[in-house]
Amino acid sequence: MEDLEIFKAQVLVQYTYAKIQDSVDHIKKRNPHRTDLITSMESSLSDLQTVRNTIELMEKELRFARSTAFRLERIGLELKTELKELKNENEMLKKGL
């Protein structure tokens, strides 16, 4: 997943959260008796907060996985180089015997 897509998802969730929060505040002022709407919308806000937290956690895990992959790739390249050097040394030793 690209970083831009993650950022876009975060922005969209935040924007939707703000819109619903604004609507809840408006309804509470103008129609406080509409507890059915208020309760439902507050539940949606809670769900969106869960989504926000999950996206944040997944983003951190993705960064960690990328870092780990990079580190392992570097180790792999170092081991390939070491193997090549050892093969050359082995060939030189064979020729010297």
> pLDDT (tens digit, 0 to 9) for every residue of the chain, 97 residues total?
588 999 999 999 999 999 999 999 999 999 999 999 999 999 999 999 999 999 999 999 999 999 999 999 999 999 999 999 999 999 999 988 6
Return contacts of 61-67, CB within 8 angstroms, 24+ apart. 62/1, 62/6
Q: CA 83 to CA 60: how far, in whole Å?
A: 34
What is the maximum alpha-carbon separation in the chain?
96
Considering the entire predicted model, what is its pTM? 0.74
**Residues whose CB is less than 8 angstroms from the CB of residue 37 and which lie 6 or more positions away in sequence, other chains included:** 27, 31
List the domain boundaries for the chain.
3-96
Are 38 and 91 in contact by the 8 Å Cβ rule? The answer is no
